[in-house]
Amino acid sequence: MPWMAIKTGVIGEDGQETILREYLCDWPGCAHIAEQVVGVARELALARAVCREHAEIQNRAPDPDQPARR
């Protein structure tokens, strides 16, 4: 899962610059911020997260008239 850090240039009360850190969507070619974790494999220290749009695509029920994907 790609990790993105944005330096804001804003200095906080602690005297440190505020840095926003977010995970990017794991969908190929998508640059949106991940909002939903799809799966985690603790043993391998792996996780998969996607943005809202791709989470909706994955959560849709399969169309019974369409052949199964392999």
pLDDT tens digits for range 11-68: 989 999 988 888 889 889 998 988 888 888 888 877 888 999 988 887 775 655 655 5
Residues 6-18: tens digit of each pLDDT: 888 899 899 999 8
Instruction: Confirm if 36 and 59 have CB atoms less than 8 A apart.
Output: no
pTM of the model: 0.57
Delimit the domains of the chain by residue range: 23-60
CB neighbours (10 Å) of residue 60? 7
